[in-house]
Amino acid sequence: MGNELEFYGKTYSPDIRMLHDMDEVVHDQPWLRSQDNIELYYMYRDLSADEKDHKRIVDNRLRYDITIIPPAMLGDEYVKTAGHYHPAVEGHHLSYAEIYQVLEGKATYFLQKAENGKVVDVIVCEATAGDLVLVPPDYGHITINASQETLKMANWVCRDFSSQYEPVKKMSGGAYYLLKGGFVKNPDYPSVPEIRYEKPHDYPEVNLFCGTDMYVMVKEIEKLDFLVHPQDHPEVFGRMASV
């Protein structure tokens, strides 16, 4: 696979996540210490079909990205993203949300919510091509490719912040690792809840439907305001977030 991505006739080069960018969060540390610094996955940020779309996206404080994760094993663990949280919206207690869509392959989305330094909710959502998965406010998230296929996924997110990787790094990863035999708890977390499994579903409140390419939301981009002002759209998050 070449590193460049074609999107509506334009060519984009990726930011590349290297193995040793992930040293703190890989489960199999003995394996890690013997490995060269290989490429793990590719992030293509701020995509648009044309300049008109790009202006509309920027004016609405949004960003559309694509990430490609080839299949791999990190020792005994399936390949995954580094994992991060989002900061709080200025003047509010909620953090920014994000929505993903699988374009090709299969994804396992791992979400965790922390309160006062303790993880209080863990969600796993398995998704295939066309499926939508919403990351509600206040949830850290990791994407895992536990398949033998290349995973290609897109996301819409507010463009006004930088993701927070340190909270995941300092705990050596998420609250669980996905190994060949299934999920195992991360012992760096003093206590974690059992996994809550959710399925992908539609979000008719904002005209987002599984099976429909979510890039087309650029034509009615005001419906993505829940990503910029999550505090104004509690109805969008109720089915995924814990109460």
Q: What is the pTM of this model?
A: 0.96
Spell out the domain ranges in the chain.
5-237
The DSSP secondary structure of the chain, one letter per residue, reads --S-EEETTEEEPPEEEEGGGGGGG-S-HHHHHT----EEEEEE-S--SSHHHHHHHHHTTEEEEEEEE---EETTEE-B---BB-PBPTTSSPBP-EEEEEEESEEEEEEEEEETTEEEEEEEEEEETT-EEEE-TTEEEEEE--SSS-EEEEEEEESSS--B-HHHHTTTSSSEEEETTEEEE-TTSS--PPPEEE----BGGGTB-TTS-GGGGGGGGGGGGGGT-GGG-HHHHTTTS--
Residue 82: how many other CB atoms lie within 10 Å? 19
Q: How far apart are CA 121 and CA 241, in angstroms?
A: 9
Judging by DSSP bridges, how do beta strands 98-104 and 182-185 pair with one another? unpaired
What are the mean pLDDT values of the chain's consecutive 10-residue runs (243 residues total)?
A: 88 98 98 97 98 98 98 98 97 96 98 94 98 97 98 98 96 98 97 96 96 98 98 89 53
Cα Rg of the chain, angstroms = 17
The dihedral of CA 236, 220, 47, 145: what is its sign?
Answer: positive
Q: How far apart are CA 96 and CA 230, in angstroms?
A: 6
Tell me which residue of 209, 110, 98, 109 sits closest to 163, measured CA to CA: 98
The dihedral of CA 89, 200, 12, 17: what is its sign?
Answer: positive
- Do the beta carbons of residue 116 and residue 52 sit within 8 Å? no
The pLDDT assigned to 127 comes to 98
The pLDDT assigned to 239 comes to 72
The pLDDT assigned to 10 comes to 96
Q: How far apart are CA 88 and CA 20, in angstroms?
A: 29
Architecture of domain 5-237: Sandwich (2.60)
The pLDDT assigned to 243 comes to 40
The DSSP secondary structure of 153-182, one letter per residue, reads EEEEEESSS--B-HHHHTTTSSSEEEETTE
Residue 148: how many other CB atoms lie within 10 Å? 8
